[in-house]
Amino acid sequence: MLTKEEKEKITKKEKNTGGTVTQIKLLTEKINKMIDHLKKSPKDIHSKRGFLTMLSDRKKLLKYLEREDEKTYQEVLKKIKLKK
């Protein structure tokens, strides 16, 4: 779970905190934290399910962004360091 300070750090620059790009950035931070947790606790099945749900949600948002605005999509991929 992200702390309030971590969320503010991500959303500080953007006014639209519910926007697609912001949601992708927040999900990416949550996913990165969850990866660390799952490395320490590989048998935590409940967290693994939540992790897969977050991956799915981020994938849907990225797909939507690619369809709507290709330029922003490419910029977001570079910022969150994903390969596509």
44 three-state secondary structure: coil
Distances (CA, A) of 23 to 7, 12, 39, 67: 10, 13, 24, 16
Q: What's the pTM?
A: 0.85
For 14-63, what is each residue's pLDDT tens digit? 777 788 999 999 999 999 999 999 999 999 999 999 999 999 999 999 99
d(CA 42, CA 51): 12
pLDDT value at 68 more than 90:
yes
Is 4-79 assigned to CATH 2.40.40.20? no
pLDDT of residue 57: 97
Confidence of residue 83 (pLDDT cuts 50, 70, 90): confident
Return the pLDDT at 60.
Answer: 97
